[in-house]
A and B are shown apart, each in its own frame.
Chain A
Amino acid sequence: MKPKDDTNNLRNLAEKIVHYGKKQGAEEIEVTLYDGLEFNVDVRRGKIENLVEAGSRYCSLRVFKDKKAASASSSDLRLPVLQTLVRNAIRRAELTQPDEYAGLPVSATFKVNENSLRLYDPEISRMKPKEKIKLARAAEKVALQDKRITNSFGASFLTNEIKSLLVNSNGFAGEYRQTYCSLSLDLQAGSGDQLVEDYWFSAKRHLKDLASPEEVGKKAVERTVRQLHPRKIRTQNVPVVFEPTMTSWLLAFLFACVSGTAVYQKTTFLEGKLGQTIGNRLVTVIDDGLLPGKLGSRPFDSEGVPTQRTVVVEKGLLQNYLCNTYAARKLKLVPTGNGNGHSVVPNNFFIEPGTTAPEEIVSSTQKGLLLTKIIGHGLNPVTGDISCGAFGLWLEDGEIAYPVSEITIAGNLGRILKSIELVGNDLQFESSICGPTIKVAEMTVAGM
């Protein structure tokens, strides 16, 4: 059971399946194996509520025959089972229709690895369960000492160690390990029928980069209690300031609209807009898979395409769509290392920070909404329309006046990108999609 032998076993298994697929008549075959270890502890009101410790493996594969594709996956890694899945996939491919764009990418070499990208932290595997439990307890304790916090959904500490291994019939073979750790806390304040809730978290690849329990605890308290005693407001059009978590939410929507898959499927309003101005000069958006230590970094994507830095929007100009191999072929573009099976995922997708401090952005707003939380799913990539439930703080004369709730915000992503007035300097990488504080000239905020 030495880890090294185990790696060889997985590599052997992947190679065996590739070989078997070729023998059974697949022209191309791609095999991915994942080996993961998960630890999670939930602490609530000082006591351990849930404790999970588990390991699991997973295999996914794609075959191509006569330009016809089929895929399969399994958590049962016994060789005969995987061989059956390969045979079934080839038979299914034969029954579908040819697609001239289907197939594996041309084999490329990647120049980075888990070390140069700082993807793996050995401290995480050395960490004892006791220490992990202690971190979760400490974060919650900070919060429960605050009298304004009336209930807790609990604090969680989670770690993941994942090994990914990819072998295909074009001669590609690569693997890397990565770690992930997060500390989060979810709180409630208020009493009777007047309850408010919010959370805070820190998520990193390296333990030493993680925010302290005190920091997470204090931030969660602050975010929760600032919503107490909300007022209702009249329906009006006002400037909206997005907190970094809300900018990330908006960017996730933008990502869905610049994904090559959505473009060839015509399900995005940004289809056909390459080379055109879609935002103002403040809007520069990057996807970068090569930032050391960041959550969205990886040496190659799910198809073995090396990751890269891609300028998606440069000073308002739409420069690139993010493509897997299939979308790139359909659109006559190049793959950008964003592949994830049939779909496209962000690596580190962010808006370039500006120079304005978030406090200055707030003080520049005579009347408006500081958007702090979204509830619901009202995003339409086909039109760019946004209509969501929202929470926030009302701004008057450049200062936070009072919390507001039971409101909705509505607008259109296309119009928002053209009316961003300020971009903050507070970009943090706590998720693979992230942005700083931004100010949008006008959205409809509906209340009474």
Chain B
Amino acid sequence: MTNKKIRVNFRKKLFPLEWPELKKLMDLALSKGGEFSDIFLEYRISRSVLMEEDIIKESSENLTRGLGLRVIKKDRTGYAYTNDLSDEKLKQVAANAAAIANSSRSFCSSKQFKTLRPERDVSLVKGFPTSRPLKDKLDLVEKTYRAAQNFDPAIKKIQVAYTESKQQIWLVNSEGLSVLEDRPMVKIVAMVVAEKKGRKEAGFSGGGGRVGLDYFSNNLTPEKIGREAAWEAIQLLEAAEAPAGEFTVVLGPGHSGVLIHEAVGHLLEADFVRKKTSILWDKLGKKVGSEQITIYDDPTISGLRGSYNFDDEGTPPQPTLLIEKGQVRGFLQDLLSAQLMKCRPTGHGRRQDFTNWPLPRMSNTYLEPGEYQPEEIIRSVKKGLYVSRLSGGQVEDSGKFTFSASSGYLIENGKLGRPIKQATLIGTNLDILQKVEMVGSDLEFDWQTGTCSKEGQEVPISDGCPTMKISKMTLGGIK
């Protein structure tokens, strides 16, 4: 009971709106014949600290507060938003969104609200990072910085950024659903430049998630982040140009999840499926990849960056099987796509903030571990490439995708050879998925610093992957 009381108070404090007002607003929104309406209220505080050139140089604090209102009629969406919560503005917002339906009368009215509560909290926090004193955060930043600085005399430049946020949302819809959620997030990122004999290279590292500051003492220390970034830069100083052409590629665990994200995840987002623009739209139940591949997207994994208790439409999320032994088994659904495709929503409707309507998105996407030992996989390659770290990627609906190998090694006769410089890999998903020959037993998740961008909206995500071997892929090095 106490818990309930606190929640109601927080809601009142952040959003000066009562249920009857929201109901009235939704009825106005549905007055032109809309079939469904929801209101997304958001209050977000984010803070950051930046250290470079040996000093704490900047700190910032950002507040986001606003309301977004959506009206759906069939496959059409009307959307309006405001950060002015005055009565007059809200009525205007409802009228603007209502205009998507152009009938003169209302067919639906909103139902009485019932508040849904999460069964457990996916965030691993004892106290919110945003409630801790600034000094603790300055300390983390400084420790990261010094660890990178002391790693090697060739380190010439270090930048460490700490960011934290707390997003509080209140979602209500015309079916009578009301959902409240507090979402914490924290991240430390280090960027380092090393210079030796006129040659310069950059290294990166980072970590975080939906966790508290204790994560940086118990799981990932700031010293480790600083050292890893410095190590990468130093190592690249000795790296050779990456070769160009087709090679057998072994992807290391963790970051290689980017490949799963780009080559599979995006193309199973239900909006691309129902619009038939995804190359996978008609592949449900069909085999598109090797037996080795089983892929899930799971928003319920504790502490991960892509996790949430409810999606941004108030749906409790489910671990969603996307690919089983190479066969397409499911799609990532939001409410609109699920309704149009006559499927159950999977809880993947997400939005960047109140100025955007939700879209089907990934959360934490991962490839299930296989049976091979990582060493065994490397040993099986006569001549090829080992990618130890992948950074960003991109995909088209046609299935063509790329990702960048930010550090790697040549493989010669089953052994790791000389480190190579950064290079891009390109492939077509239907082709590459067939070419996954071995999947390792060493599933890892990435650093928990990733963001996915779709139609201009950015949301936090994470990817996971064991070591895997692709028989042939094009590498964009220098000839």
Name the one of A81, A407, A444 contacting B478, with C-beta atoms under 8 angstroms: A444
B352 to chain A, nearest CB (A): 13
For chain B, residues 130 to 162, give those with C-beta under 8 angstroms from any C-beta of chain A: 134-135, 138, 156-157, 159
Within 8 A of A (CB), among B252-303: 275-277, 279
Give A230's nearest chain B residue, CB to CB. Answer: B400
Q: Are B59 and A375 in contact (CB under 8 A)?
A: no
**Is B55 a contact partner of A389 (Cβ separation < 8 A)?**
no
Indicate with 1 or 0, residue by residue over B194-224, a CB within 8 angstroms of chain A CB atoms.
0100001110000000000000000000000
Tell me, in angstroms, the Cα distance from A405 to B474 when the chains sit together: 11
Stretch at the interface among A16-24, A54-62, A159-167, A359-367: A54-62
Is A49 in contact with B58, judged by CB distance below 8 angstroms? Answer: no
Q: In the complex, which of the residues B392, B396, B424, B428 has the most CB atoms of chain A within 10 Å of its own CB atom?
A: B424
Which residue in chain A gives the minimum CB-CB distance to B43?
Answer: A76
Q: What's the minimum C-beta distance from B196 to chain A, rounded to whole angstroms?
A: 13
How far is the CB of B402 from the nearest CB of chain A, in Å? 3
Residue A291 at the chain B interface, CB threshold 8 Å? no
Asked if B391 and A57 sit within 8 Å, CB to CB, the answer is no
Interface string of B232-250 (1 = CB under 8 A from A): 0000000000101110000
By the criterion CB–CB under 8 Å, are B394 and A377 in contact? yes
B245 and A77 within 8 A (CB) = no
Q: Among B61, B97, B393, which residue has its beta carbon within 8 angstroms of that of A88?
A: B61
Residue of B61, B66, B81 with most partner-chain A CB within 10 A: B61
| Chain A residues positioned under 8 Å from B401 (CB to CB) | 375, 389
- Whether a CB of chain B sits under 8 angstroms from the CB of A310 is no
User: What mask results when residues 411 to 446 of chain B are scored 1 for a CB within 8 Å of chain A, else 0?
Assistant: 000000000011111111010000000000000000
Nearest CB on A from B457, distance (A): 13
A383 touches B56 (CB 8 A): no
Partner of A75, one of B61, B63, B97, B201: B63
Name the interface residues of A4-52: CB closer than 8 Å to any CB of B: 44, 47-52
Whether a CB of chain B sits under 8 angstroms from the CB of A131 is no
| CB-contact partner of B202 in A54, A75, A190, A267, under 8 A | A267
* A-binding segment of B71-79, B168-176, B321-329, B381-389: B71-79
A406 lies within 8 A of chain B by Cβ = yes
How close is A234's CB to chain B, nearest CB, in angstroms?
A: 8
Q: Is the CB of A388 within 8 A of B63?
A: no
Which positions 366-411 of chain B face chain A at CB distance < 8 Å? 391-404
A265 part of interface (Cβ distance < 8 Å):
yes
Min distance, Cβ B441 to any Cβ of chain A, angstroms: 30
A407, B193: Cβ atoms under 8 Å? Answer: no
| B62 x A73 contact (CB < 8 A) | yes
In angstroms, Cα B276 to Cα A195, docked, is: 11
A446 at the interface (CB under 8 A from B): yes
Nearest-CB distance from B233 to chain A (Å)? 9
Q: Is B30 located at the chain interface by the 8 A CB criterion?
A: no
**Which chain A residues in 79-100 approach chain B with CB under 8 Å?**
81, 85, 88-89, 92-93, 95-99
Nearest residue (CB) in B for A377 is B392
Query: Shortest Cβ distance from A82 into chain B, in angstroms?
Result: 9
Residue on A nearest B479 in the bound complex, by CB: A444
Chain B residues within an 8 Å CB radius of A53: 80, 96-97, 99
Asked whether, in the complex, the Cβ of B82 is within 8 Å of the Cβ of A447, the reply is: no
Across the two chains, which residue of chain B brings its CB closest to A55?
Answer: B82
Known: A49-B75, A76-B83, A408-B244. A446 touches B477 (CB 8 A): yes
Known: A151-B277, A389-B402. A52 touches B62 (CB 8 A): no
Is there contact, CB below 8 Å, between B275 and A153?
yes
B61 and A89: CB pair below 8 A?
yes
Contact digits for A383-427, partner B, Cβ 8 Å, 1 yes 0 no: 101011111000000000000011111110000000000000000
Inter-subunit contact A410/B477 (CB<8 Å): yes
Q: How far is the CB of A156 from chain B (nearest CB, A)?
A: 10
A375-B400, A375-B401, A444-B244 given; A76·B277 CB < 8 A: no
Could you tell me if B277 and A153 are in contact, using CB atoms closer than 8 angstroms? yes
Chain B's nearest CB lies how many Å from the CB of A415?
10
Residue A107 interfacial (CB < 8 Å): no
The verdict on A387 contacting B400 (CB below 8 Å), with A51-B100, A406-B426 known, is no
- Report B-chain residues with C-beta under 8 Å of the C-beta of A52: 78-81
B355 within 8 A of A: yes
B93 within 8 A of A: yes
Instruction: Report yes or no: A375 in contact with B396, Cβ–Cβ below 8 A.
Output: yes
Q: Are A448 and B245 in contact (CB under 8 A)?
A: yes
Q: Judging by beta carbons under 8 Å apart, are A73 and B76 in contact? A: no
* 8 Å CB contact of A54 from B57, B63, B96, B193: B96
Q: Are A48 and B63 in contact (CB under 8 A)?
A: no
In the complex the two chains form, is A54's CB within 8 Å of B244's CB?
Answer: no
Residues of A contacting B398 in the complex (Cβ-Cβ under 8 angstroms):
188, 190, 195-197
Chain A contacts for B447, CB-based, 8 A: none
Q: Is the Cβ of B357 less than 8 Å from the Cβ of A50? A: yes
Is there an interface contact between A410 and B423, defined as CB atoms closer than 8 Å? Answer: yes
* A380 lies within 8 A of chain B by Cβ: yes
Alpha-carbon separation in the docked complex, A180 to B304 (Å) = 39
Q: Does B84 reach chain A (CB closer than 8 Å)?
A: yes
Q: Check if A340 is an interface residue, CB within 8 A of chain B.
A: no
Distance to closest chain B CB from A360 (angstroms): 28
Does A116 make an interface contact (CB < 8 A)? no
Interface residue ranges, B against A (CB under 8 Å): 52, 55-66, 75-84, 93, 96-97, 99-100, 134-135, 138, 156-157, 159, 191, 193, 195, 200-202, 242, 244-246, 275-277, 279, 355, 357, 391-404, 421-428, 430, 474-479
A-B pairs with beta carbons under 8 Å apart, 25 shown: A50-B357, A51-B76, A51-B79, A53-B99, A57-B84, A71-B61, A81-B63, A88-B61, A95-B134, A97-B56, A188-B397, A188-B398, A193-B279, A195-B398, A197-B397, A235-B244, A375-B402, A378-B402, A378-B423, A380-B202, A382-B193, A382-B201, A389-B401, A411-B478, A448-B245
**4 pairs of A and B residues whose beta carbons are closest in the complex:** A408-B476, A389-B402, A376-B402, A195-B398
